[in-house]
Amino acid sequence: MKRSCEQSQLLFHFTRKHWTVTASIPTVSRMPTIQLLYQAAFNIPATRILVVNAHADPLLARLKVAVEKLDLWQHFKPEFDAIKNMGLTVSPELPAPDYSYDLILLLPAKNKLQTLSWMALAMQRLNNHGKLLIACANDHGAKSYESALQKLAGNISSNSKSKCRLFSARKTDTLNNGLLTEWIDAGQSREIESSGLSSQAGLFSWDRADTGSLLLLEQLPKLSGIGMDLCSGYGLLSNRILADSPDVQTMHMVEADFLAIECARTNTAAWQEKVQLHWADATNNELPTQLDWIVCNPPFHSGQTRNVDLGQAIARCACKSLKKGGTLFLVANRQLPYEHVLQSELHHCQTLIQANGFKVIKGIR
């Protein structure tokens, strides 16, 4: 879970405060990218629409009323929950390729390989002459994604607005099916040679073991009893702990990215009787409690933006999940301020090591 646990809520509250629930242009100078995307959809004739990487916004509710069928896909739990809280139906899994759409809306991911895969999957699910519409901020790679769609579809229309680009393509005979297959395959889960674990583009440190996690693993003793890997990602920490600590009775794995959960399921299959997977928002959903120990490599970004508060909020939740005498092992970038949070929540804490730009902190409740 390396994206924001608060991103969706912040966006939704912002729109509720400053925008009216209509399809008209808001009376401010710059619309958020997702609103530009939803706004444009009202001007495209369609009865069946799919939104890839859907985000909560009042315009989404109006779009639901305006079309015959609206399918929403979101793999990130905080954003998924924000959409559900609007009373809309949303799925963490894409619809099967045999169901087609007149229009597909797509908001790019942070990872380019992941976004290209989504583009190809979207094209695969369009009716003949159906349209794929993408909105992207200029400083998040809009020009690059526009060029990529041109290569894939062979036809494109584009315009700029509010420091963003809106670009679209129809599914025609010019579709590059070889490139479509290549991009879909590149975005699927696969075994990573360096770790031997299943991962996929878009997950945190997806193609290599990150330095912080490796440093944390070096500091861990043999563990036993009931524990939790909080923000577990594709399961690097859990896999190593379960292999090295046979006395672990239960391993709770908590992760906000549904795609990471599916990789983690594969990576811990050898210990499936011990593992409990939780697709959850660490700061807003209920977590296991009365734990003997927790390992945690918390995120500190909200999408493209650094957000130290997010990591601190997750650390507080971790402390509350421990039983009295339970132990927390947390790794973080060396300069990030976690000590005061842990000192306020725990009976004792100490820095075990600082190396390679990271620190490992041990705390006891």
Q: Walk me through the domains of the chain, giving residue ranges and CATH numbers.
A: 7-186 (3.40.50.150), 191-364 (3.40.50.150)
pTM over 0.85: yes
319, 328 in Cβ contact below 8 A? yes
Would the pLDDT of 305 be above 80? no
pLDDT score recorded for residue 97: 85
Query: What's the rounded Cα separation, in Å, for the pair 89 and 341?
Result: 37
Query: What's the rounded Cα separation, in Å, for the pair 138 and 130?
Result: 25
Would the pLDDT of 6 be above 80? no
pLDDT score recorded for residue 29: 39
Would the pLDDT of 280 be above 50? yes
What does the mean pLDDT of the chain come to?
90
pLDDT score recorded for residue 18: 29
- Range of lowest pLDDT (229-238, 292-301, 328-337): 292-301
Question: What tokens appear for 97 in the block?
Answer: 């390729």
Per-position b or e across 203-239, b if 16+ CB within 10 A of its CB? bbbbeebbebbbbbbeebeebeebbbbbbbbbbbbbb
pLDDT score recorded for residue 99: 87
Per-residue pLDDT, averaged over 294-321, amounts to 83
Query: What's the rounded Cα separation, in Å, for the pair 169 and 59?
Result: 23
Question: What tokens appear for 142 in the block?
Answer: 């809009």
pLDDT score recorded for residue 14: 30
Beta bridge partners of 170: 131
Per-residue pLDDT, averaged over 206-226, amounts to 97
Would the pLDDT of 17 be above 80? no
Quick one: how far is CA 210 from the chain centroid? 17
Q: Which amino acid is at 59?
A: L
Question: What tokens appear for 308 in the block?
Answer: 């130290």
- Find the angle CA(38)-CA(116)-CA(163) to the nearest 5 degrees: 45
Per-residue pLDDT, averaged over 41-69, amounts to 96
CA distances from 60 to 12, 84, 169 (A): 11, 12, 22
Question: What tokens appear for 228 in the block?
Answer: 């939790």
For the chain, the first-to-last Cα distance in angstroms comes to: 24
Residues 6+ positions from 8 with CB-CB distance below 8 Å: 55, 56, 76, 78, 79, 81, 82, 83
Residue that is written with structure tokens 């043999």 in the block: 222
Task: Pick the more confident residue, 96 or 182.
Answer: 182
Per-residue pLDDT, averaged over 324-328, amounts to 98
pLDDT score recorded for residue 8: 36
Would the pLDDT of 25 be above 50? no
Task: Pick the more confident residue, 305 or 285.
Answer: 285
pLDDT score recorded for residue 134: 98
Query: What's the rounded Cα separation, in Å, for the pair 265 and 271?
Result: 10
Quick one: how far is CA 236 from the chain centroid? 17
Query: What's the rounded Cα separation, in Å, for the pair 52 and 119?
Result: 9
Give the pairing type, strands 126-137 and 358-364: unpaired
Query: What's the rounded Cα separation, in Å, for the pair 275 and 252?
Result: 6
| Percent of the chain that is helix, strand, coil (3-state, to 5) | 35, 30, 35
Taking alpha carbons only, the member of 294, 290, 351 closest to residue 318 is 294
Dihedral sign, Cα of residue 50, residue 54, residue 59, residue 60: positive
Residues 6+ positions from 289 with CB-CB distance below 8 Å: 320, 321, 323
Per-residue pLDDT, averaged over 99-127, amounts to 97
DSSP-derived 3-state class of residue 152: helix
Would the pLDDT of 204 be above 60? yes
Query: What's the rounded Cα separation, in Å, for the pair 319 and 340?
Result: 13
Helix pair angle (177-186, 112-124), 10° resolution? 130
Would the pLDDT of 320 be above 50? yes
pLDDT score recorded for residue 217: 98
Most confident listed range (25-29, 31-35, 290-294): 290-294
